């Protein structure tokens, strides 16, 4: 296919405009979620501090990432969870603070109680144990890595090991979650998110 010279620049301009619009939309959606999403804090466990390509970060593990259910679980939404499928986890606030999982399934719940939050994730793995007979589901939410300015990852990791840490998470109405920052010993640390 030969493109006439008079159409080349308008065509290239149109392609650049479409790509720029898509990039702007991605950034705008992230920004909007961080500003207007429901905010909650989740207790975390640090795992690892560096990515050779993207700089310093802390890998965070959550208690709400692994679920054990009896193998005779009769909820079809739970039994439909397989590796790679979407998972919707409903969290309810605990009276003493923090969150507890009240439902996990492969569909967004039809009704969500006031005060509850639904997180959307992806099932990493499922397996069955024999004694006791349980199904274990491992879920990732996309909030497991928190990138920080270069040179500060190791300092943050040492603080995390020695102190109580929580992740500040913004959650959208569809369950999408992004990390806004960390709370270390009650002190809030927010850095602009790195894409």
Q: What is the pLDDT along the chain (195 residues), one digit of tens a residue?
A: 555 777 778 888 888 889 888 888 878 877 888 888 888 888 776 555 545 445 566 778 888 999 888 766 667 777 778 889 999 999 999 998 889 899 898 899 999 999 999 999 999 998 888 877 888 899 999 998 877 666 666 666 666 666 678 889 999 999 999 988 888 777 887 765 544
Alpha-carbon gap, residue 139 to 80, rounded angstroms: 14
What residue segments make up the domains of the chain, in order of their start?
37-190
Alpha-carbon gap, residue 26 to 20, rounded angstroms: 10
pLDDT digits (tens, 9 = 90+) for 36-52: 888 888 877 655 554 54
């Amino acid at each position: 296919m030969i493109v006439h010279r008079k159409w080349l620049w308008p065509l290239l301009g149109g392609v650049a405009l479409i790509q720029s619009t898509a990039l702007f939309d991605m950034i705008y959606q992230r920004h909007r979620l961080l500003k207007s999403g429901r905010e909650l804090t989740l207790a975390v466990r640090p795992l690892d501090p560096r990515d050779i390509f993207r700089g310093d970060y802390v890998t965070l593990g959550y208690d709400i990432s692994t679920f054990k259910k009896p193998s005779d679980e009769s909820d079809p939404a739970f039994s439909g969870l397989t590796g790679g499928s979407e998972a919707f986890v409903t969290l309810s606030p605990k009276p003493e603070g923090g969150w507890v999982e009240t439902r996990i399934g492969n569909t967004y719940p039809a009704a969500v109680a006031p005060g509850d939050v639904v997180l959307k994730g992806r099932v990493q793995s499922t397996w069955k144990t024999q004694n006791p007979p349980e199904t274990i589901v491992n879920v990732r939410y996309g909030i497991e890595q928190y990138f920080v300015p270069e040179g500060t990852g190791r300092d943050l990791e040492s603080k995390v090991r020695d102190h109580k840490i929580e992740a500040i998470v913004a959650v959208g109405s569809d369950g999408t979650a992004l990390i806004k920052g960390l709370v270390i010993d009650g002190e809030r640390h927010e850095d602009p998110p790195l894409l």
